Amino acid sequence: MKTSELLSELSDCLKAARVTAEVRKVSAQFFSRVKGQDLDTVLAVCEELLEQRKGHFMVIAFDWAFRMRKQYTRDTWPVFEHWLKEYVRGWGDCDVFCTHAFGELLAQYNDLFARVIPWTEHPDFWVRRAAAVILIYPVRKQRALGLDPFLIADRLMHDEHYLVLKGYGWLLKEVSRYEEDAVAAYLIKHRPHMPRIAFRYALEKMPRERREMLMSL
């Protein structure tokens, strides 16, 4: 498999793509060219896509990485963390990557949560946002044993970037689907100093009566 030829063909097919759904269609079509390879080979191709630093290529790289999820091992973690810090450059890339491929890896290896915690102090806002967003997939799939979303919320509570505040608010919102009382108690406890934007995100999926009660605090 010649990656240079694959990139060229992908570029030609992506010229007509206008929305993410069309990019994902191209991604699915071309994945048949690599799916028979081992994980390391496919991730190497994904990295070459990421090195192009083009939005469509990044979507495809993260999609292919997710499609290889049955082959993930603990050794996949440093590869994904490198991608997060080297190639992600905004909230969109962060969310695509962390709510699928990277989130699935954490769902498989919950004990790697300790490696997420230092991200809350990273100088790049998308890495700090990732500290919250990566937990969303395991929470949704109820494969989050030992993960502590409230610890992440504590550490990001007064972050200077609004997209990080939205990120941990979104995480708490997802947690509220399964642990509504725990999230409500957390919001009541931190209401005096919790940024409003995170607070509002966190209660969005609660029943109307409880939502209105919390908003009135």
Looking at residue 109, the DSSP 8-state letter turns out to be -
Amino acid letter, residue 13:
C
* CB atoms closer than 10 angstroms to residue 202: 26
Residues 6+ apart with CB under 8 A from 46: 61, 62, 64, 65
Backbone angles phi, psi at 160, to 5 degrees: -80, -15
> What integer pLDDT is reported at residue 194 of this predicted model?
97
> What integer pLDDT is reported at residue 154 of this predicted model?
98
For the chain, give every domain's residue range: 1-70
Asked whether the predicted pLDDT for residue 73 surpasses 90, the reply is yes
Do 100 and 69 touch, CB atoms closer than 8 A?
no
- What does the alpha-carbon distance between residue 66 and residue 24 come to, in Å, rounded to a whole number? 12
Asked whether the predicted pLDDT for residue 2 surpasses 80, the reply is no
> What integer pLDDT is reported at residue 18 of this predicted model?
67
> What integer pLDDT is reported at residue 76 of this predicted model?
98
- Between the CA of residue 91 and those of 74, 87, 129, 136, 207, what are the distances in Å? 25, 12, 8, 14, 28
User: pLDDT digit string (tens) for 15-37?
Assistant: 776 677 888 888 999 999 898 99
- Between the CA of residue 208 and those of 195, 197, 202, 205, 211, what are the distances in Å? 21, 18, 13, 8, 5
